[in-house]
Amino acid sequence: MEQQKISEFVSGDHIRNYFILDSVTVKSRKSGDQYLFFQFKDRSGKISGNFWSPSKSDFDAYNVGDIVFVEAVTETYNDRIMLNIAKIRRAASDEAVSVRDLVKSSPKDGETMYSEIVSTVDKYVENEDMKKLTLAIYEAHKEKLIVYPAAISFHHAEIGGLLHHTLGVIKGVFYVSQAYKFLSRDLLICGAALHDIGKLYEYSLNETGLIKEVTIDGNLVTHIIRGAMIVEEFGKNLGTDPEVVKLLSHMILSHHGVPEFGSSVVPKFPEALILHEMDDIDAKLYEMEEALSGVKEGTMSERQRAFDDVRLYRSPLFKISDEI
């Protein structure tokens, strides 16, 4: 069966499509009757849909990451296309659906991004201990790095998303280092390259290549602590300057900014602060681009969980790019 892309839907289409389930929420109508509000995705984008008449079993039947088959009609609501769902079910294991055709991937493939990051470290990092440590960690984790997503459902939840995000942060801190000459470009590049390395231990992947669940290590240690432990371990084995290990460890431990958001400590030197801010900026800009990519020029998006349920405006100046 031929798949229609979400990005090509127009109002009035009769849809019989497979999607990946991005979220499901139980909501109530004014009458008090409950219904299911879904968000679906494929490689081309996301779309929301209402299932007004779920059975009792439907309320517990679906999980984020499920491949589902949907029969629906598209309609326009508040200037955006939505699905009025007639039927929905989880796809059976023997159905002829190409999972990879549904899964969003980074604009660049993992090998290309990996090579770009490694070459950036090799070319611009002057501190030999810092360079050697960063490249050794990357080489040891290459197999996972080139495919891992960065998150379950928010920013860069795509195949190769971890390097997509990392590359964006590296480019951001590189530009900042050109504006503020007192900053250590070496620390900024290597801190950015390593800040999320612990996510390779925090998540396990499902058959789609997306994140299945948080691992025991992710629950008990978290990617922030694990990342600092990796730097400590490799630094000890390589005989790395203890000051380099200490600074990079702090940057990883503080890159979420405050303990409320998972950091072990707040940033306590300039490069750590810049890394925290650029990590946040790159994640939010990804979310904004995703939200606005399916919105008509001059209109507002649906409410965005990542931005406290505000609706975002798509300016006519907004452009979607495949560049990182």
Give me the CATH number covering residue 153: 1.10.3210
Among residues 84, 101, 118, the one where a domain terminates is 101
State pTM to two decimals: 0.78
- Rounded to 10 degrees, the C-alpha dihedral 164/165/169/175 comes to 40
What would the mean pLDDT of 5-23 be, rounded to a whole number? 90
Q: How confident is the model at residue 7 (pLDDT cuts 50, 70, 90)?
A: confident
Residue 279 CA, chain-centre distance (Å), reads: 12
pLDDT tens track for 86-125: 999 998 878 877 666 788 888 899 999 999 999 999 999 9
Neighbours of 207 (CB within 10 A): 10
pLDDT tens track for 191-215: 999 999 999 999 999 877 888 899 9
| Number of compact structural domains in the chain | 2
Q: What's the chain's average pLDDT?
A: 92
Let me know whether 190 and 227 are in one domain.
yes
Contact (Cβ atoms closer than 8 angstroms) between residue 67 and residue 91:
yes
pLDDT at 20 over 70: yes
In a domain, 322, yes or no: no
pLDDT, greater one: 96 or 317: 317
DSSP-derived letter for residue 3 is P
Residue 158 CA, chain-centre distance (Å), reads: 6
Let me know whether 155 and 243 are in one domain.
yes
Rounded to a whole number, what is the largest CA-CA distance in the chain?
A: 68
- Percent of the chain having pLDDT more than 70? 97
In a domain, 320, yes or no: no
Looking at residue 254, its pLDDT comes to 98
pLDDT at 52 over 90: yes
CATH number, domain of 13, equals: 2.40.50.140
Residue 40's alpha-carbon distances to 37, 63, 75, 80, 275, in angstroms, are 10, 12, 15, 14, 32
What is the SS3 assignment for 203? strand
Nearest to 231, CA basis, from 323, 142, 122, 140: 140
In a domain, 254, yes or no: yes
Let me know whether 66 and 136 are in one domain.
no
From 99-113, 119-133, 145-159, the region with the lowest mean pLDDT: 99-113
Let me know whether 147 and 171 are in one domain.
yes
pLDDT at 324 over 80: no
pLDDT tens track for 236-286: 999 999 999 999 999 999 999 999 999 999 999 999 999 999 999 999 999
Let me know whether 97 and 112 are in one domain.
no
What is the SS3 assignment for 59? helix
Let me know whether 96 and 161 are in one domain.
no
Q: How confident is the model at residue 315 (pLDDT cuts 50, 70, 90)?
A: very high
Q: Which two tokens stand for residue 242?
A: 């203890």
DSSP-derived letter for residue 259 is G
What would the mean pLDDT of 125-137 be, rounded to a whole number? 98
Q: How confident is the model at residue 46 (pLDDT cuts 50, 70, 90)?
A: confident
Distance CA 144, CA 201 (A): 10
DSSP-derived letter for residue 229 is H
Let me know whether 38 and 50 are in one domain.
yes
Residue range(s) defining the domain that contains residue 249:
105-287
In a domain, 303, yes or no: no
Looking at residue 209, its pLDDT comes to 83
pLDDT tens track for 284-301: 999 898 888 878 889 888
Looking at residue 1, its pLDDT comes to 53
pLDDT, greater one: 151 or 44: 151
Let me know whether 78 and 130 are in one domain.
no
Looking at residue 99, its pLDDT comes to 66
Let me know whether 184 and 269 are in one domain.
yes
From 5-19, 122-136, 216-230, the region with the lowest mean pLDDT: 5-19
pLDDT at 153 over 80: no
Let me know whether 211 and 164 are in one domain.
yes
Among residues 38, 66, 101, the one where a domain terminates is 101
Let me know whether 159 and 51 are in one domain.
no
From 34-38, 57-61, 161-165, 226-230, the region with the lowest mean pLDDT: 57-61
